[in-house]
Amino acid sequence: MFWKFRICRLIPVLILTVYGGAAAFAQMSPGTTEIDALKTRYKRPLAIPFPDNAPYSPQLATLGKKLFFDPRLSGAKNLNCASCHNPSFGFEAPVDRAVGAANKKLGRHAPTALNMAWVKPLFWDGRAATLEDQAAGPITAPAEMNGKFADIVRTLNDIDEYRSWFATLFPGEGISRKTILTAIATYERTIVSGWSPFDRWVDGDEKAISESAKRGFVLFNGKAGCAGCHSGWNFTDNKFHDIGTVTEDMGRAKLEPNNPLAKHAFKTPGLRDLTRRAPFTHDGSQKDLESIIAFYASGGVERSSRSPLIRPFSISEQETADLVAFLKSLTAEKTETPMPVLPN
């Protein structure tokens, strides 16, 4: 059982399944009944799922937002969650690998915080089972925010407004590691990508996206094979795949050492608001949409752990442009993230 926070204009999620082969899609033109049927499988969900032990309230989400943007959770009081998950850049950082507390690049590209209410497990390697677990990782990692919860609790307890917020929302508990993470995770579940031209097209507005983007949708689900991993409304299967990147990072294999396909495998990222989130892949090695399409078309590094869903394919300049047009249609038309006023 989950608590649901209803979202205006959202409709139930349907999990994408394989829909025919590439040859069948090649014969389709945007607007056929087959394409119309496929579009319904990308419809947005009606509600945000919240766990029973942390039901949604606007007050709790507001508190979590304040903490998300508060640098006092870091050891040197100079970094916050938004340092790596910036709303202006699709809740990522616009560099290949974000810079942490030691003023050094981290090992991986910062993954987006968008739509995490629907993502499990968390991180590129899936080492966190819940958003509460995920939130604790960067805060305490010496290379990232380098915070210590004992110090954070003392700092927040010295701030009257925070002490009042926690006393009201967590009666009998107050400020603790658990309540801090509950608040942050609640806010993170409300970070949802906005309505995009693609969503309006799925909803029946045939003029919402270009003919090029419609052709790109056909390519995405057919010849290019993107939908094999990037499925459903958030365009992720929530699984781990080795896509053939040149890397020494073992990825998911650190958690599944006996799984031969876990080596160099990373979580499939969702594709919402993609135009704000370059560069791409777990190491930020692909600078733009054209680059990542070319990489997938090449098939990447051929090795035993490479996902069977990854295979080379030919693609023309026009087809690349069509795919790019489709991917751009997934970016929200309007996004507003007002900065919170932090307690002093």
Query: Which domain CATH number covers 198?
Result: 1.10.760.10
* Residue 228, pLDDT score: 96
Q: Does 334 map to a domain?
A: no
What is the SS3 assignment for 265?
Answer: strand
Shared domain check, 230 and 173:
no
Residue 76 has pLDDT above 60, yes or no: yes
Are both 63 and 177 inside the same structural domain?
A: yes
Query: Is residue 96 pLDDT above 60, yes or no?
Result: yes
Q: Is residue 100 part of a domain?
A: yes
Note down the domain range covering 101. 49-189
Q: What is the pTM of this model?
A: 0.90
**161 and 228 part of one domain:** no
Is 163 in the same domain as 67?
yes
The pLDDT score that the predictor gives to residue 334 is 87
Dig out the tokens for 235 from the structure: 């365009």
**Residue 59 shares a structural domain with residue 43:** no
Average pLDDT over residues 330-344: 93
Q: Residues 256-288: pLDDT tens digits?
A: 999 999 999 999 999 999 999 999 999 999 999
Do 165 and 209 belong to one domain?
Answer: no
Size (the chain), residues: 344
Residue 13 has pLDDT above 90, yes or no: no
Asked if residue 120 and residue 36 are part of one domain, the reply reads no
In this prediction, residue 17 carries a pLDDT of 32
Question: 26 and 75, same structural domain?
Answer: no
Percent of the chain residues past pLDDT 70, beyond the cut: 91
Residue at which a domain ends, from 126, 156, 189: 189
Domain count, the chain: 2
Q: According to the model, what pLDDT value does residue 32 have?
A: 73
How many CA atoms are closer than 13 Å to the CA of 12, on its beta-carbon side? Answer: 2
**What mean pLDDT do residues 44-57 have?**
95
Task: Say if 109 falls within a structural domain.
Answer: yes
The continuous run of DSSP H or E covering 6 comes out as strand 3-6
pLDDT at 190: 98
- Give the amino acid at 52: D
Checking if the pLDDT of 1 tops 60, the result is: no
